[in-house]
Amino acid sequence: MLRILRQIFSTGIVTEPLSPAEESRITVTGALLEKKIERRFQRSVAIRFVDAGSCNACELEAHAANNPFYNSERFGIHFTASPRFADILLVTGPVSINMETALKRTYNAMPGPKLVVAIGDCGRDGGVFGCGYASAGGVGNVIPVDVYVTGCPPAPSQIIHGILRAVSPARKTGDGPGF
Amino acid sequence: MMNWPKEIIASSIGNDNLRELARCGGVTAAYGVPREFFAMAAKALKGAGQPGGLAGQLAVLDGWRLAAEWATDETPFGRGFAVFAAYNSGTEYVIVKSDLPQDDPSFPSLAGIFTPALRFERQIQSLMGVSPEAHPDLRPWIKHEDWPWDVYPLRKSFDGKTPLKKVPGGDYPWARADGEGVYEIPVGPVHAGIIEPGHFRFQAVGEDIINLEEKLGYVHKGIEKRFESLGWIFGARLAARVSGDSTVAHSIAFSMAVEAASMVAPAQRALWMRAVMLERERIANHLGDIGAICNDTAFAFLHHQFSILREKVLRANQRFFGHRLMMDRVLPGGAAVDMDKDASEEMLKEIVWLSKEFEKLVVIYEDNPSLEDRVWGAGVLSPSVAKELGTVGFVARASGQALDARVQNPFAPYDRIVPKVPVLTSGDVHARAWVRVEEVRESMRLIREMLQDIPRGRLCVPCPAPRPGAEGFSAVEGWRGEIIYWVQAGPLSSTAGPLSSTDAGINRCMVRDPSSVNWLALEEAILGNIVPDFPLCNKSFNQSYSGHDL
Ligand code: SF4
């Protein structure tokens, strides 16, 4: 027990400002968002996650968004085990034909209004897997997408930012270089 | 005593029926046998002993192991189909091939001899339409029930670019246990957390699991078919994304197979860079997973601590190699990143720091009785079952199997800086976690030694496309275990990739992720455990869905 306590005190708080550029983006968005999240989502957004066919690297980075460094919970982002409580559907990967039905079902099971964030180059257009007999390509080919977060895989900070962008009032589909 | 695979096979099927094949690089030998002898050859190899091993590390292996089995469509060469089996014993890999006529593509099943063939052959049947005779379970695998039954995507006659027309209806016949008080719990494909999709069906009595059946294939993206249309150059990008958590290992395996087919020796310095990245990938994944195992025992504190270490390693990767996961840093012919002296000194410092922090956490792990209570004795995979199922990687090593492709099939620098292979025999969740603790330590030592001795020189040599019909094999130990690639160049311009209109394209690229064999082991290990322990047991295997489903 003493060891654990010692480790806790010596670790301190590692949650950090993201990179200065990212941080300013996020704080700016954050300020804009605060009211919006409060009103629309009761101070927190619930996210349902579906891997629709990714290579699993996008999952690793989505996981990392929860690690103590990025600590996405501080923005009121949390993951839920049921689509019934979810505000946002986070999807990784191209949509494989074997996941198409499950993805549609999850989407349909969510209450409206709902938002969809597609993670990674695959989510945008199928990425390296393209479109073919087993891949339906980007998420947008199967369900409506509100925000795309590009990258292969996108960094955790980009994923967090994508989620914030989805709930932001100035949301636009697709992402230009500067978000 | 007969040691040579050729003598072993010949003694069983006769010399006249054995043909040596010259075209495949990267293996000790490749043989062609008439198809009626395909299973006999397997039986002979399974029964043959091969003593010894490198540096006395690999235990005496009695009998060869079936490492992979796959089929090809060789109609572009004016032939029919073919079935292949790759076997391993000690430091040797051999391939046995049988040609199959186009109008009757069937072969004697190996499922009665080697258990892993059960799924290899279901996959062969489902995706290539080549039938294993007398296979006990020919339910489709990866191919789901809404696919038209007569669609075989890996055949040349199948156009991989058009979307599949699904057929309604169809049911998957699950294996069922019946009896009083037996109930069934279906889980998935979509799970609660941030994980990949797969379907599990448990049959339980009270809390005890009496049967688990997996249904996978949900993230099947047609990777093997896609290799054929992408060609050699873009194929490297695809290989890096077969299983993103093992991107370095898959890239190395693909590159080595292509180099073997092209008969190109990659740049020396690049080999060392590859090894450094491979060990860093091992460390990062082990850190994350040891933490996740702690999390599943409700010990969130260690989970956070390990995830901090993992994050630091990924950030260092970004600094050293320009990518957190080191994707696309290995290419046929060499590597795409180099390190200067400053970077290598910085990495040495990082490793010293990491080692210190890691050991602090390991002490806490060892010290915690409530954690011990959950991980000891849970999800046991006995050594005999582990061997029978042909498991590989840390799963095999935690169950008494001394297997490590870094020792069995070493590329420089592993021939000089030899990894110590930790082997435990208890086969429980703890053993799988502890093997990985030992491997993190060992990887840190390897990196330190590699950085001292890394040779100077070029980072990449030109790697021309393999000659028409050339074949290449590779086996690489990723963090999860042995990854196998086998590539076959087509005839001239058969499937021209974007930049290779004058070269032979890829006729077939076979990928065997460690998960392809280890998934079966989870079904065995879970028996007799309680339902609430499934997440913990599953995590301790942490197999790749994407790498398996392809
Ligand atoms: S975008 Fe890249 S990292 Fe993400 S799933 Fe696709 S290939 Fe993998």
* Predicted confidence (pLDDT) per residue in B368-427, tens digit: 877 877 888 888 899 999 999 999 999 999 999 989 999 988 898 998 999 999 999 999
Q: Confirm or reject contact between A146 and chain B (CB < 8 A).
A: no
A131 to chain B: which residues are within 8 Å by CB?
A: 161, 163
How high is the pLDDT of residue B545? 92
Q: How many CB atoms lie within 10 A of CB B376?
A: 13
| Facing residue for B244 by CB, picked from A57, A96, A131 | A57
Who lines ligand 1 at CB under 6 A?
A: A 54-55, 57-58, 92-93, 120-122, 127-128, 152-153; B 241, 244
Dihedral in degrees, nearest 10, Cα atoms B12, B18, B23, B24 = 0
Average pLDDT score over residue span A75-93: 85
Residue B171 pLDDT exceeds 90: no
**For residue B260, how far is its CA from the centre of ligand 1 (angstroms)?**
28
CA pair distance B519, B515, nearest whole angstrom: 6
Task: Evaluate whether B482 touches B514 at the Cβ level (below 8 Å).
Answer: yes
Residue B194 pLDDT exceeds 70: yes
Q: Where in chain A are the domains?
A: 34-167
Q: How many CB atoms lie within 10 A of CB B456?
A: 6
The Cα-based distances of A73 to A47, A147, B16, B295 in angstroms read 11, 20, 69, 17
| Facing residue for A136 by CB, picked from B163, B190, B544 | B163
Q: Phi/psi at B201 (nearest 5 deg)? A: -120, 120
A56 to chain B: which residues are within 8 Å by CB?
A: 196, 243-245, 544-546
CA pair distance B550, B546, nearest whole angstrom: 6
| Facing residue for B220 by CB, picked from A55, A134, A152 | A134
Name the pairing type of β-strands B49-50 and B65-73.
unpaired
CA pair distance B512, B126, nearest whole angstrom: 16
How high is the pLDDT of residue B366? 84
How high is the pLDDT of residue A20? 57
Alpha helices in B368-389 (DSSP H): 369-375, 383-388
Average pLDDT score over residue span B184-201: 82
Q: Confirm or reject contact between A141 and chain B (CB < 8 A).
A: no
Name the pairing type of β-strands B208-215 and B330-331.
unpaired
How high is the pLDDT of residue B191? 79
- Which DSSP state fits B99? E
Residue B82 pLDDT exceeds 70: yes
Give percent above pLDDT 90 in chain A.
Answer: 37
Q: Confirm or reject contact between A21 and chain B (CB < 8 A).
A: no
Residue B246 pLDDT exceeds 90: yes
CA pair distance B381, B386, nearest whole angstrom: 6
How high is the pLDDT of residue B508? 94
Residue B509 pLDDT exceeds 50: yes
ipTM score here? 0.85
A67 pLDDT band (50/70/90 cuts)? confident
Residue B321 pLDDT exceeds 70: yes
Task: Evaluate whether B449 touches B262 at the Cβ level (below 8 Å).
Answer: no
B198 to chain A: which residues are within 8 Å by CB?
A: none
- For residue B57 the two structure tokens come to 């590390």
**For residue B228, how far is its CA from the centre of ligand 1 (angstroms)?**
20
- Which DSSP state fits B460? B
pLDDT, mean over chain A: 80
Residue of A nearest to B240 (CA): A55
User: What number of CA atoms fall less than 13 Å from residue A9's CA on the CB side?
Assistant: 5
Q: Which of A86-100, A131-145, B171-185 has the lowest mean pLDDT?
A: B171-185
How high is the pLDDT of residue B352? 95
Chain-chain contact of B244 with A132 (C-beta, under 8 angstroms):
no
Question: Which A residues, 50 through 69, put their C-beta within 8 Å of a C-beta on chain B?
Answer: 50-64, 66-69
Average pLDDT score over residue span A127-132: 92
- For residue A52 the two structure tokens come to 């629709």
Burial of B265 (C-beta count, 10 Å sphere; 0-12/13-18/19+): exposed
- Which DSSP state fits B96? E
Average pLDDT score over residue span B330-342: 91
Average pLDDT score over residue span B116-128: 94
- For residue A46 the two structure tokens come to 């619930």
State which ligand 1 atom lies nearest to the alpha carbon of A53.
Answer: 5
**Of B273, B272, B256, which Cα lies nearest the Cα of B264?**
B256
Task: Evaluate whether B471 touches B263 at the Cβ level (below 8 Å).
Answer: no
Coil/strand/helix, residue B43 = helix
Chain-chain contact of B196 with A56 (C-beta, under 8 angstroms):
yes
State which ligand 1 atom lies nearest to the alpha carbon of A54.
Answer: 5
Chain-chain contact of B241 with A136 (C-beta, under 8 angstroms):
no
For chains A and B, CB pairs below 8 A equal 159
The Cα-based distances of B355 to B7, B331, B412 in angstroms read 48, 30, 25
Residue of A49, A50, A54, A128 to test ligand 1 pocket, by largest number of atoms within 8 Å of CB: A54
Task: Evaluate whether B404 touches B435 at the Cβ level (below 8 Å).
Answer: no
Residue span(s) of chain B under CATH 1.10.645.10 come to 264-511
CA pair distance A118, A93, nearest whole angstrom: 8
Q: For B264-511, CATH number?
A: 1.10.645.10
Chain-chain contact of A136 with B361 (C-beta, under 8 angstroms):
no
Residue A25 pLDDT exceeds 90: no
Chain-chain contact of A102 with B242 (C-beta, under 8 angstroms):
no
Nearest CA, atom 3, ligand 1: A153
Residue span(s) of chain B under CATH 3.30.460.80 come to 4-133
How high is the pLDDT of residue A155? 92
How high is the pLDDT of residue B109? 94
CA pair distance B29, B151, nearest whole angstrom: 34
Chain-chain contact of A11 with B546 (C-beta, under 8 angstroms):
no
Give percent above pLDDT 70 in chain B.
Answer: 95
Which of B154, B156, B221 would you mutate first to test chain A, the one with the most A CBs within 10 A? B221
Residue A171 pLDDT exceeds 60: no
Task: Provide the CA A39 distance to its chain's centre, in angstroms.
Answer: 20
- Residue-wise pLDDT for B479-508, tens only, equals 999 999 999 998 876 444 444 445 678 999
Q: How many CB atoms lie within 10 A of CB A152?
A: 21
Residue A105 pLDDT exceeds 50: yes
Q: What fold, for A34-167?
A: Rossmann fold (3.40.50)
Chain A: give the shortest CA distance to residue B295, in Å. 12
Residue of B nearest to A53 (CA): B219
The type of residue at A33 is L
pLDDT, mean over chain B: 88
**For residue A128, how far is its CA from the centre of ligand 1 (angstroms)?**
8
Which of B154, B219, B242 would you mutate first to test chain A, the one with the most A CBs within 10 A? B219
CA angle (B223, B229, B233) in 5-degree steps: 90
Chain B: give the shortest CA distance to residue A35, in Å. 28
A53 to chain B: which residues are within 8 Å by CB?
A: 218-221, 546
**For residue B223, how far is its CA from the centre of ligand 1 (angstroms)?**
13
Residue B531 pLDDT exceeds 90: no
Q: Confirm or reject contact between A134 and chain B (CB < 8 A).
A: yes
Q: How many CB atoms lie within 10 A of CB B183?
A: 9
How high is the pLDDT of residue A2? 67
Name the pairing type of β-strands B81-89 and B92-100.
antiparallel
Q: Which helix (H) or strand (E) holds A77?
A: strand A77-79
Which of B194, B223, B358 would you mutate first to test chain A, the one with the most A CBs within 10 A? B194
How high is the pLDDT of residue B3? 56
Chain-chain contact of B245 with A127 (C-beta, under 8 angstroms):
no
Chain B: give the shortest CA distance to residue A102, in Å. 7
> Which residue in this structure is represented by tokens 């804009």?
A32
Residue A109 pLDDT exceeds 90: no
Chain-chain contact of B221 with A135 (C-beta, under 8 angstroms):
yes
- Which DSSP state fits B265? P
- Which DSSP state fits A44? -
Coil/strand/helix, residue B138 = coil
State which ligand 1 atom lies nearest to the alpha carbon of A94.
Answer: 6
Q: What fold, for B4-133?
A: Beta Polymerase; domain 2 (3.30.460)
Give the torsion sign (CA, B453, B354, B404, B261). negative
CA pair distance B548, B220, nearest whole angstrom: 8
A68 to chain B: which residues are within 8 Å by CB?
A: 304, 307-308, 311
> pTM of the predicted model, to two decimals?
0.91
- For residue B342 the two structure tokens come to 């400053």
Task: Evaluate whether B63 touches B51 at the Cβ level (below 8 Å).
Answer: no
| Facing residue for B304 by CB, picked from A54, A68, A152 | A68
Q: Which of A154-158, B161-165, B222-226 has the lowest mean pLDDT?
A: B161-165
The type of residue at B47 is G
Q: Confirm or reject contact between A148 and chain B (CB < 8 A).
A: no
Task: Evaluate whether B490 touches B504 at the Cβ level (below 8 Å).
Answer: yes
Average pLDDT score over residue span B339-361: 92
CA pair distance A33, B9, nearest whole angstrom: 71
